[in-house]
A and B are shown apart, each in its own frame.
Chain A
Amino acid sequence: MDILVCIKQVPDTKDIRLDPETNTLAREGVESIMNPFDRHALEEAVSLKEEHGGTVTALSMGPPQAETVLREALSCGADNGVLISDRAFAGADTWATSYTLARAVETLGGFDLILCGKQAIDGDTAQVGPGLACRLDLPYVTCVQKTREVTADSIQVERMMDDGYDILRLPLPALLTVVKDINEPRVPSLKGKMKAKKAKIEALTAADIGAEKQFIGLAGSPTQVVNVFSPPPRGNRTVFSGTIEEQVSQLVEQLQPYL
């Protein structure tokens, strides 16, 4: 089974700041990491490969430094890394991004399964996975918490729901987006890191994937960000003091009117 995993390099949200002047994320001095949901997608792809054979290709759209996350993917067991990078891609929203990724997938060709993280932790839209599936006209399931039976032409999955989970079977090729419950990602291995250091990352431009100018980057993005702000901290805090017993009785007293 040949699997493609879409990976995004994102700022580490442990340390997120907004620039109030420009309404954008302050990226200066903020560490970049592999989007955590994508780590789970990658782990699932590598586990499926270990069980059923095949290959895992990691694909990322981003600036040249996004190569780092592709090398990390190689050290975790991916076989190939492909970076699509072009100045013309800058400013892409989810609409333009899913178009661009779709062009890249069609150029690379021949995947049985595409895995994405549920969403990226910077934009939190959860739109690129489904968007990519629609562009490629593939069946897809979002929020997959478990992959079950895999055959030559189908895959059975569990989709996380608010009140339990659905069991669904999809024909292959298909696209899945995964949640964190699906697995425990492995720590990159030493031999994998050594291999990744030497590996060549294939780099594709807009021309290489035959992407049309009006559909990529800012030009292809209908989304307009009107305002970005940190919600103001809520007021009216009460800090209790005393022994635990005293604090609990104070809390109960405060809650009494609402019970």
Chain B
Amino acid sequence: MDYFLTEEQQMIVETARGITEEKIIPQRAELDEKNEFPTSILQDMAKADLFSIIVPEEFGGLGCGCFEIVLALEELARGCVGVATSFAASTLGIFPVLIAGSEELKERYLPDIAEGTKWAAFGLTESNAGSDASGIQTTAVLDGDEWVLNGTKQWITNGGEAQIYSIVALTDPSKGARGASIFVVEDGDPGFSYGKKENKMGIRSSATRELIMKDCRIPKNRLVGRRGTGFITVMKTLDVSRPGIAALGVGLGQAALDEAVPYAKQRVQFGRPIISFQAVLHILADMAIQVEAARAIVYAAARHIDSNPKNMSKASSMCKVFATDMAMKVTVDAVQVLGGYGYMKEYPVEKMMRDAKILQIYEGTNQIQRNVIGQELNKEYA
């Protein structure tokens, strides 16, 4: 379907597609097998200016929005959701600075982000604070001209690989969620270290590590926005980043369809290509319907968000749920169409199925998204 992209948007799609076809697809199976971070591919993305998409022009970026990031992520996810997640997590990690950071912080970080010479990560989750993010225990105490951070962040994408970390910590623990603030912690800051790399079911090329802050001292000016506004910034960050995760679902679903249809055309059983059996053909038709419907809602939500509406949470959550549930279903179906071959590592669909699962879990589980949508409905029909 034609989504009437501008020439600039078309260029973004083509550039990301070039990275996917020339750099990601030839390496994805090996990166997955070896649990290896795609450093050189991210460097290729940097050379192609993909990291500059969301950075404002005055800091050396292209000044584009949520929709353009969605277009890039969809193409990258056609190649590998693990690699695309590493790229998406860097975008997620810098959003707090973009949304609420001082000019000083923007000048310090955004040019390097735009160049792709530094990558970012977002540190919210802790062992006891997942869906209930208000349960975080990491603290930040002001000591003279420095903040002192203590605590451990868990399952942080790009942990140990990024140079710039947006860390959520309690500055006034007695105030609960209203007592949280965001800080930028840099790789190499005193008292900042990494835990072991997690061994995951899918997206294995992405790096997931603990971030450990033990009397981690950082300059006072690394506070992002005002003290106590951390959770507001977190919510705004997730509102603009979730369509990106939804786009990973669309790209992955498309990739699964792109494997399943040609296979069904060439696989002969009972003397006929299996695509000529209605049982198979209907699976493929349903896959195509769902991929296209997901793409439509993701593009619509991203465009809605770029219009800077008062409330974007519902649209953001709806597209995340729909597109990631779709990706799970469609990748399972692709494995079914390929049958025994689909279950083998020689074919890419088993990896796609493993990669799909995380999309329903990270950046807010799909159950939490439904809570958000429900709360908004409750308000709308008050």
A-to-B contact residues, CB < 8 Å: 185-194, 197
Contact = CB atoms under 8 A, between A and B. Distances in A.
A187 B52 contact: no
A189 B8 contact: no
Q: How large is the interface on B (under 10, 10 to 19, 20 to 34, 35 or more residues)?
A: 10 to 19
A194 B47 contact: no
- A-B complex: 4 closest residue pairs judged by Cβ atoms: A187-B18, A190-B49, A189-B49, A187-B48
Task: Tell me what chain B mostly uses at the interface: helix, strand, loop, or mixed.
Answer: helix
Nearest to B20: A187
9 contacts: A185-B22, A186-B44, A187-B15, A187-B23, A187-B44, A187-B48, A190-B49, A190-B62, A193-B11
A188 B22 CA distance: 11
Contacts of A192: 49
A16 B344 CA distance: 33
B19 interface: yes
A186 B8 contact: no
B19 A190 contact: no
B213 interface: no
Contacts of B47: 186-187, 189
Contacts, number: 38
A191 B23 contact: no
B301 interface: no
B270 to A, nearest CB: 16
A188 B7 CA distance: 15
A84 to B, nearest CB: 27
B12 interface: yes
Contacts of A187: 15, 18-19, 22-23, 44, 47-48
B66 interface: no
B299 to A, nearest CB: 20
A193 B15 contact: yes
B248 interface: no
A34 to B, nearest CB: 13
A191 B15 CA distance: 10
Interface string B1-44: 00000011001101100110011000000000000000000001
Contacts of B44: 186-187
A192 B22 CA distance: 18
Contacts of A188: 15, 18, 48
B340 to A, nearest CB: 14
